[in-house]
Amino acid sequence: MAQGDSPSPPPEPNVEALFSVDGYLRDHQNEIKRRYGCFKDLVQHINQHEGGLNKFTKGYEYYGVHRLQDNSIVVREWAPGAEGVYLKGDFNQFMVEERYSFKSLEFGRWELKIPPKEDGSCIIPHLCKLKLVMRTKAGPLEERICPWARYVTRPKEYPIFEQVFWDPPSNQKYKFKHPHPKRPLALTIYESHVGISSWEGKVATYKEFTNNVIPRIVDLGYNCIQMMAVMEHAYYACFGYQVTSFFAASSRYGVPEDLKELVDVAHSHGITVLLDVVHSHASKNVVDGLNQFDGTNSCYFHDGARGTHDLWDSRLFNYTSWEVLRFLLSNLRMWIEEFHFDGFRFDGVTSMIYHTHGMGHGFTGHYDEYFGLNTDTESFNYLTLANFMLHSFYPDFMITVSEDVSGMPTLGRPVEDGGGGFDYRLAMGLPDMWIKLLKTTQDEDWNLDNICHTLTNRRWSEPCIAYTESHDQALVGDKTLAFWLMDKEMYTHMSIISEPSLVIDRGMALHKMLRLITIGLGGEGYLTFIGNEFGHPEWLDFPRAGNRESYHYARRQWNLVDDPSLKYRFLNNFDRDMIHLEAKYQWLASRQDLINIKEKDIQKMKSIKSASWKQTKSTEDEKKETDTFYTVFQSYISLKHNADKVVVFDRSDNLVFIFNFHPNSSYTDYKIGVKTPGTYRIVLDSDAEEYGGHKRLDHNTVFKTHNEPWHDRPCHTFVYIPTRTAIVLAKCD
């Protein structure tokens, strides 16, 4: 439930908190303060003129079609460019009649009130089909769908969606049984698409996902599901990124109550559920979309060139419009209040916050690229306002993630500091690095300095979600990581009785190692895409004209991982144990409190500025403080040996990660630095038999540390590390 109607931001941002962790931002403090001032003014105007942010962001309770307690109907729309508005549907044989014409209100609003029938029943029953009709300035009558429609369906006869009034009787409404889970210390995200979640060549349903996929996620140990392609989209193959009905849960997977059950069942297991929300653009569809809703080229969008995304062939929202802000913010509130989602992954943030939409822009990292004229202040402030609203009303569970490839500074910092307010940002450079390496470079030529730099090259005060691959890397035109590694031999050599294959052996070893080093070094959260945890082969391709409407690649082949005679289960076992190990030791959460650290504490650590986090020579007290800082907030890479192809790092007090990427050299009695003295045991071994490895390590071995410093660590130990193997040691005393 929302807490308070009218939260107000502080009068001034706490910019010193930004400058304490990044002194370069001080050169741009005027721009940061200017943006914050625009945001603050916007909140004040909403509180002053709209009765508070809570009321303003519940527009879905005002607009659209509503049945009142006396069974009368009230319909309200915002269509400033229309000359007249009508409602028609099953209830009147789809006739345009004056008695169902809307009354014009101020500010471009329209209203229609329909009394109940003589017997007291509602004239528009549950599942009644409806159409809005606009009389445009040009004269013709044009059919439209209500932008606030909760349920739209597509008849088989023609490919256009139509509104269906969703008003089930109380005994058919889903009643939630479980509360929102508390926000996890760190996210491990299972990125999912309901439609492809069956092994069959069809569009799967919410029910099937609930019954068949959620148990798999529970077993794997992921604490968060990210739902893609839920907001209704007319074209299935667009992967949900050309939204036509923003308030409607896609009917191709089932009815809204089924989606509510899905979220509630996830909550019963303590799993957070995020919605992939697309507020960066909208479909150009007119009859069943927002485009030209009132007969004009603007309404919800910018007019002219600013209102069209040339690359995506879609429309761009006008974030300066009062009603557009109400529409988008209310959209977020509806998905939480009605469906109990716990947060959002915002798609296309880079496109939103730059006038160039990031097209043709390499983003070198120079701060002038972020605080210059190319930044779209209106879009940035919409995102800031959305985060402020969400975290003010839902502080206990709300999580927001930004998809931004540009690296915009402050995007992941708290709003009160002058930031954008996101909890996480996606580390989008990591999958690109892995795919590029596999495409262009032999193992023996991998540069571990570059790999480790890419894995750790992030804004250390803005938590990141690390991943080796997401849906982007699985789409047709690319291949899954497993397919890049093993390709055609996956068709012939993934059986446990197949003759040995060097390609499969290498591919399975690296598939595990790349995931482990990514979750170990790459961020403060982790993500995988549905099915990729077990090395899903091939690519993802939705039915379309180019593939003769085939569903062959628009599915998840669970039969592969469930077959005990195939090797896919080994990769699944490793992914499961890796995620459960993180849940036990919580190394991803070791820096989550960093953004809340007090300025005086940061000043104590001010010598730590470099991206490599190398310790500076200082007094014993300062060294002690620095070590504490590392323990709580950061991993420490003690070794990157390009000739041996070995990487060693610790994360938190108790874990040491060791990787040998060498294609043919194993090392006995390999000396490694260890931060905390004590006794260690192997808690994860990519070469173990249950992961399809060669079981070359004895898990009964105890590793005791010696007090001689090594590689900037206060002590050391010796390990056997076979070729293409990764192990994790944990302190056990």
Give the amino acid at 84: G
- Token pair belonging to 59: 């527009």
CA 420 → CA 386, 388, 391, 404, 690, distances in Å?
9, 9, 12, 12, 44
275-293 burial, b for 16+ CB within 10 Å, e for fewer?
bbbbbbbbbbbbbbbbbbb
Average pLDDT value for the chain? 92
β-pairing, 343-346 vs 272-277, is: parallel
Determine if residue 65 is left, alpha or beta; phi over 0 gives left, psi from -120 to 50 gives alpha, anything else beta. Answer: beta
The C-alpha angle with vertex 202 and arms to 196 and 208, in degrees rounded to 5, equals 65
CB environment 612-631: b (16+ within 10 A), e (fewer): ebebeeeeeeeeebbbebbb
For 217-243, how does the pLDDT look when each residue is reduced to its tens digit (9 = 90+)? Answer: 999 999 999 999 999 999 999 999 999
HSE-CB at 598 with a 13 A cutoff on CA atoms is: 3
CB atoms within 10 A of CB 42: 20
Transcribe 394-406 into DSSP letters: -TTT-EEEE--SS
How far is 19 from 40, CA to CA, in rounded Å?
Answer: 20
Of the candidates 617, 675, 668, the one whose C-alpha atom is nearest the C-alpha of residue 646 is: 668
Task: Give the Cβ contact number of residue 495 at 10 Å.
Answer: 12
Record the tokens describing residue 499, joined without a space. Answer: 């003759």
- CA end-to-end distance (rounded Å), the chain: 45
How much is the pLDDT for 66?
98
Whether 599 is a known active-site residue: answer: no
Q: What pLDDT is attached to residue 365?
A: 85
Catalytic one of 342, 403, 462, 469: 403
| Residue 62 to residues 68, 76, 326, 496, Cα–Cα distance (Å) | 12, 7, 11, 61
419/293 Cα distance (integer angstroms): 34
Q: What integer pLDDT is reported at residue 629 of this predicted model? A: 39
Q: Distance of alpha carbon 408 from its chain centroid, rounded?
A: 17
Sheet holding 646-651, edge to edge: 636-641, 646-651, 655-660, 725-731, 679-685, 703-704
Q: Which of 162, 167, 294, 347 is catalytic?
A: 347
H or E stretch at 649: strand 646-651
**182, 171 in Cβ contact below 8 A?**
no
Distance, CA of 408 to CA of 392 (rounded, Å): 23
Residues 252 and 164 sit within 8 Å (Cβ to Cβ): no
Question: Nearest to residue 680, comparing CAs of 650, 659, 635?
Answer: 650
Q: What is the length of the chain?
A: 733
Collect the ranges in the chain with pLDDT lower than 50.
1-4, 592-633
pLDDT per position as a tens digit, 511-544: 999 999 999 999 999 999 999 999 999 889 999 9
- What is the spatial distance between Cα 528 and Cα 225, in angstroms, rounded to a whole number? 10
DSSP 209: I
Nearest to 601 by CA among 571, 570, 633, 574: 633
CB 239 within 8 Å of CB 155: no
d(CA 520, CA 588): 8
Distances (CA, A) of 574 to 476, 497, 577: 26, 20, 5
**Can 601 be counted among the known catalytic residues?**
no
| pLDDT value for 590 | 65
CA 692, 694, 697, 699 dihedral sign is: positive
Q: Which residue has the tokens 């450079």?
A: 429
